[in-house]
Each structure stands twice: as C-alpha cells, then as structure tokens.
Amino acid sequence: MSDRRGWTGARLVAVLAAVACAIAGMTALAQADSGQPVLGIVVSSDQHAAGAAIQWDRVAATGARVAVIEATDGGRYRNPWFSPDFSGARTAGLVRGSFAVGRPATPIVSSATQQANYYLNRLPADGICHWDLVFTSGPEPRDSSAAAIAACGLLELARQLPVGDALRAPYERAAAGMVRTLAADYADTSGTPGAGLLKHAVYHKPNGVGVDEACIWGDYFYLEALVRLTRTWRPYW
C-alpha cells in the first residue's frame, strides 16, 4: 500500500465527477421531494482523524441522504475505511456512491495509448464492445454507449499524437469503423417519438437496469463522434 497523497486538483476533479455520477442514484429521492435539495457527504480516509470511525447514524440525523465514499487513489492505495464506511452508510439508510482517484502515468499520452491498446484488443469482430471487457465474444450484451465514448476518446488521442506517430492512423481507423458500425447496426431508425439515437446500450447489467436500451450519454457521444469525423472539433470541456 503506497503513501497517501493529499487533496490535489486531480483528486478534487475526481470527487466532483463522482458526485455528478451519483446524481443518477439520487433520481428517485429527487422525485420524491420535488424542488428540495438532496444533501450528502463525500468522505475518504482523511475524514477518519486519529483512526476514529464515522458515526453514520449521526450523519443521517443531520439530514444527509447520500454518501459518496473514496475507494482507491492511484494504482496502489486502497482506502482501508471503504468497506466499513460503505456498510455503515447503508445501515444508516443513505444512498451510496463511490469514487476512485485516477493518477495517469507521465506522460499522460503514454498511459492513454496503453489503455487504448488494451481496449482495442478486447473487442469483438465488429468493434462494438460488450458491457464488460472481460467478454470478447459470446451472447453477452453489447454496449453501444461505451463504443461511442471510446470512439471519441480514440479520435482525441489520435489528435494529441504527432502526425507521424505509428498509432495515429490505426486509432483513427478504429474509431471510424466503430462509428460506421453504430450507424449501420445500432442506430434507431424507427422514428418513434422519444426513441434514442442508438439502441443496445447498457447501464447496469448486474442489476438488470437499462440493459439493451438507449441512453442519453450514448446518444451524446455518438453525435460528438460524428462531428469529430466530419469537421474540425473544438473541445469545449
């Protein structure tokens, strides 16, 4: 277990992203109390001063309804308080989320190419990933939303590489192939009101939620990938 690192900008960004993702889990609560703020807490091992446990019943008594708990930081650090905090928050009746702090290798492009190569080497023949990269063939559901996101990531990574880099063209070809397959085999052309742009996305396979459906993030990144492939892309985030 490596030394603990402080609350850097990267960790703050990760926490904010985790809180944003937790919004999905808070939807039911927000609907139950329309117009009312949903209170919550974000914790890591830093909140365990002198090794003291968090009194989750007291946290709930303050009106908090959500807890987002750090699981890992970098490639080696594991929050030793994650399990008791995750369990304690549940016992106290809080909606739970977790986050992991990523620390890319230096330079970042080197780390990104390693991850891109791993991803590409885990794909089925048509280039559209399964809901989990542990599956490379067979009947497990595909995830069109993940494929759309990956296509954008590959195009951005290619843009960051030198023009003569040997990986630039393969990444561009792989991304373009994914988008062609999405357009040909995964696009919803029914014209049904309220239908998404892409079929066959997966939200949470283990819980059977949002399996083989359209999802808003898949539609967004599908459109972004199309724009990236047809004109000059100017990132806005």
pLDDT tens digits for range 210-236: 999 999 999 999 999 999 999 988 877
46: in domain: yes
The whole-number pLDDT of residue 4 equals 55
H or E stretch covering 173: helix 168-181
3: in domain: no
The whole-number pLDDT of residue 108 equals 81
115 in the same domain as 84: no
Enter the pTM of the model. Answer: 0.63
136 in the same domain as 39: no
225 in the same domain as 113: yes
Task: Report mean pLDDT in 10-residue bins for the chain, 237 residues.
Answer: 49 48 46 67 93 96 94 89 96 93 76 93 96 94 97 95 95 98 97 93 92 95 96 80
CATH of the domain at 39: 3.20.20.80
236: in domain: no
114 in the same domain as 211: yes
Q: How many domains does the chain have?
A: 2
CA–CA distance, 123 with 151 (Å, rounded to integer):
13
The domain of 58 spans: 9-101
Identify the bridge partners of residue 202 per DSSP, sorted by sequence position: 211
117 in the same domain as 84: no
